[in-house]
Each structure stands twice: as C-alpha cells, then as structure tokens.
Structure 1
Amino acid sequence: MSETQKTATLTDWQSLCDSLTTDPALFSEVRLAVESPLRYLERFRARLALRGITTPEGVSPWLALVDWLDENDRLVELDEDTSSEDLVDYLSTLPVVAGSGANLRPVAAQDVHLAYSVPRANVLLAPHYWTLLHLDTETASYPLALVSTEAAPRITALAAAVGHSARTIDESDAEDAARSGLTGYSYPLAQAAPVQTGPRPGNVGLRILGFIVDALLLYGVILGGVWLGITINGSNSGGLIPTVMLIVAVAYVAGLAVVVGRTGQSLGLLIVGLKVVKADSAAAPGFASALGRGALLFFAPFAIWLVVLIVTTLVDPRGRGLHDKAAGTFVAYARGANAVR
C-alpha cells in the first residue's frame, strides 16, 4: 500500500464516491472497507472469494468501489486479452448504454486489443455523455467504469488523491500496444463523432419559458379541480376549495415527477428542447429526484423563493440552482448536438 493510500481520508473517499454516483450505498460499502475490513469481509465473503481474498488484510476500499460499480451495472471487468468484439458485447449489457442508443458496432473486431478499441468506444459514447475510465487494480483484470464525461476529469483527480488510477485509455496506450506488436484497426472509424466534454447546460431563458408552460398547466389543472368541486358541491364548497387546490397540486407534481423521472422532460421542457438529468451521469433523474425538484419549484410559498432559485441558477457554472443541487440534477439541452465541444 502506497503512502497516499495510507493517508487517504474518508472525506477523499466520499468525494470520489459522490462523483461517481448519487447513490449513498457506494460510499457506505467503501467506508465499511476503510473502517472495518473484517466486517466487510464477513458481509461480502462470496464477492471477495472471486478475487481470492479470504483475509481482512486483502480488503481494499478501491476494490469495494470497483465491485459496487460492477454489481450496479456501471462497470465491466475484462481481461487484458479481451477482444474489441467482446468489449462491445459486454458494454451492450449495461442498461445506460442500451438506453442511450449508442451504436458501438463499429468498434467490434475480433483480434483488436483494448488499447485500440476503448478509445474508439469513447468516441462513440461521447455524444451520449459517457466515458470509459480504466480503474487500475494492479491485477490482470481490466475494469472499465462508465462515468459521466463531464465528471471524468474530477474522478481521475480524486482517484489519484486516494492513491489509485482512474484514467482514459488514449493514443499513448495504442502506441505502446503497437510497439508490443499488438493488433490495431486496419480501417478508419466511419462517421466518428466529435469528442465532447458532457451535456451543455440549458439556457436560463429557455428554462424559465419551460417553467412558465408547466406552471400555467399546473394552475389550469388546479382551476379545473376547483371548478369541478364547485359544480359538485355548489355554494357549500367555499371551505373545500383550499383542500381541493392542495390535493390537485400534489397529484399534478407527483404525476409530473413520474414523467420527468423516466424521460427527463415535462411538457414545458419538451417544448423548449431541454431535459433534466442526473448531475453525475446525464441519465434520467428518477422519481425521487424529480419529485424533490418539482416540489421545490412548484410549492414555493413566496415569490422571493423563485428569485433565489433563478439567482443561484445564474451564478452556478453549470446552471444548477438550489433546487437542482438538492435533487442531484441539472438541466441540459435535450439533443447531443448541443453538447460542449
């Protein structure tokens, strides 16, 4: 174990885990490996046995991180002699790759080494905001983690801070492979996509326009619910109106959270060409994040709160207001052509 690994703090590990995912379960397992290797061994004995680890001394928070990413479909662990054809097959099993629509078939070639095929895969993944990072375990295995392209540089730096290597496989690796006599491609990558650095934050003006559309729809639904209540109860519905308004608003925001959680878009965002994504992966935010974000947006009791949200959105480099930071999201352009070059 290096000196850097020995002096790495839980704060360093938490920062790394938070850059990889918003799921707290990753840091929970890494922390257990740091604080109590014996308990980690007892809990994950079967997992560790696959790596030949049978004693607490063999427990590593880095391997805990790699194993969690593997079990949660954010990593593929290959052998160095895996062909690019196998690489494509393994990556295609990851839900985020399958859901992104990325076509990795141009990478596939039976006898091409990973040093050539991984950079080519990253070119094709870039428009979908994903990057493969090699997490060096100092073994014969070849773990490739699928991370947000925008977060990749930070993950690399944080991995170094805890004494490990997480890096992109680049042209220098291909040059080393060529000098070793390993096989590369004999044909160019057709229609290679430009390398991008992640989703481009959506224009604040468009975001406000999208919010206005959604807010008008919400108020229209509320008024419809009030009208229905008055129609049914007549003159006795005065005291019922606030309750009806609250019930309709809660139902609307909950329903909107289901749609935004799955697709990243409300009607307003769809109209202006934006989408809500997870800050760490550019994937759809999921119901919980969308619900929390929607509640902060639509249930603001005072107009000053909306001003706070707009101001914090304007001053943040990625356009993440307090509502986005609380929900672990940010708003990006919906089409890959608007990603940062």
Structure 2
Amino acid sequence: MTNTFDDWTRLCRLLDDDPELTPATLDSVEAGESPWDALIEGLDDSGALAYLDKSDTGAELADALPALPRIIRTGIELDEVGDINELDRAITSANELLAAHGLTLLYLADPDDEDAHPLVAVPTADLDEINALIEKLYG
C-alpha cells in the first residue's frame, strides 16, 4: 500500500500544488473509494481543471483556460483558440501556444462521464512521469 500512497502523492503533486489535493486523494485510497474520482474532484475544486464537454468548441476552451492557475501565471493570450470550432484542434492550438511557457494540456479521462473532457495544464517536462504514474495507477 505504501507504494500506492507514494505514487498517488507524487501524481497529485505533479498535477497541482493545492495542499488539499493529496490528502483528499489518499483518503479515498484508504476508504476503498475511487482515488481517480477524488483526484478529478480535487483538481476541479482547486480551479486547476478545465472541465469541458467533448462537443465544446475552441470558444469554450479559450474561456476556461485563462482561469487555470498555471496558465494565469503565464499571462498568455488564447484568443486565437476561440476561433476554432473543433475541440481537439483547439487543444492542439492551445498546446502550441502553451509550449513556449513549458506547459501542455493533459486530458484526464472521467470514467463516470464519457462526454466529459477534463483538462489540466501541466509542465511539459513532467508529462512522461505523469503519464507513467497514470498508467501504473489507473491503466
């Protein structure tokens, strides 16, 4: 169980610096509940998650991203993303802009909502480690 706690702790810290995220996620592990659900809820509660629907467009993405703490700190303008009608293309465009700031958007699948498209901005340098932890814990 210790390795599981360590892995969830590391994943939480890589995804967001909210001090409440890790304890809430670990509490769900101890309670035998879904830590993935707790993680998504915690990211949403902290404001670090852009919770979109896969039918949304670039306009909704451009509205949601500037509120994410890591994106706020960059001061980046995402207006051009709002002109794109397809969400996947808008995410690609946003990632091109975010790359200059060392960030990328990471899709976190929500098993409770197939139409959901939750995104979190993470440092590009941490992406491989994040994906490896997600695969280990959830995959």
Q: Same fold (TM over 0.5)?
A: yes
Aligned length: 135
CA contact under 8 A between 1:75 and 1:144: conserved in structure 2? yes
Aligned to 1:161: 136
Map 1:260-271; keep pairs closer than 5 Å: none
Aligned to 2:108: 135
Map 1:309-320; keep pairs closer than 5 Å: none
The Cα offsets for residues 290-338 of structure 1, whole Å up to 9 and x where unpaired, read as: xxxxxxxxxxxxxxxxxxxxxxxxxxxxxxxxxxxxxxxxxxxxxxxxx
Name the CA distance, whole Å, in 2 between partners of 1:163 and 1:72.
22
CA contact under 8 A between 1:74 and 1:147: conserved in structure 2? no
CA shift, 1:25, in A, is 2.2
CA shift, 1:92, in A, is 1.8
Aligned to 1:66: 40
CA contact under 8 A between 1:31 and 1:61: conserved in structure 2? yes
**2:138 is paired with a residue of what secondary structure?**
coil
Code of the aligned partner of 2:104:
T
Q: Which ranges in structure 2 are unaligned for 5 or more consecutive residues?
A: none
Name the CA distance, whole Å, in 2 between partners of 1:22 and 1:98.
14
Map 1:207-222; keep pairs closer than 5 Å: none
Name the CA distance, whole Å, in 1 between partners of 2:73 and 2:7.
32
- From the CA coordinates, give the structure whose radius of gyration is larger: 1
CA contact under 8 A between 2:18 and 2:46: conserved in structure 1? no
- Quick one: which of 31, 38, 43 aligns to 1:36? 31
**2:121 is paired with a residue of what secondary structure?**
strand
1:106 counterpart = 2:80: yes
1:147 counterpart = 2:122: yes
CA shift, 1:22, in A, is 4.2
Name the CA distance, whole Å, in 2 between partners of 1:163 and 1:94.
24
CA contact under 8 A between 2:15 and 2:120: conserved in structure 1? no
- Quick one: which of 5, 14, 21 aligns to 2:9? 14
Name the CA distance, whole Å, in 2 between partners of 1:131 and 1:141.
19
**1:82 is paired with a residue of what secondary structure?**
coil
1:121 counterpart = 2:94: yes
CA shift, 1:131, in A, is 1.1
Aligned to 2:63: 89
With over 3 angstroms needed to count, the CA separation of the structure-2 counterparts of 1:100 and 1:12, relative to structure 1, is same
Name the CA distance, whole Å, in 1 between partners of 2:122 and 2:99.
11
Map 1:269-284; keep pairs closer than 5 Å: none
Name the CA distance, whole Å, in 2 between partners of 1:96 and 1:19.
12
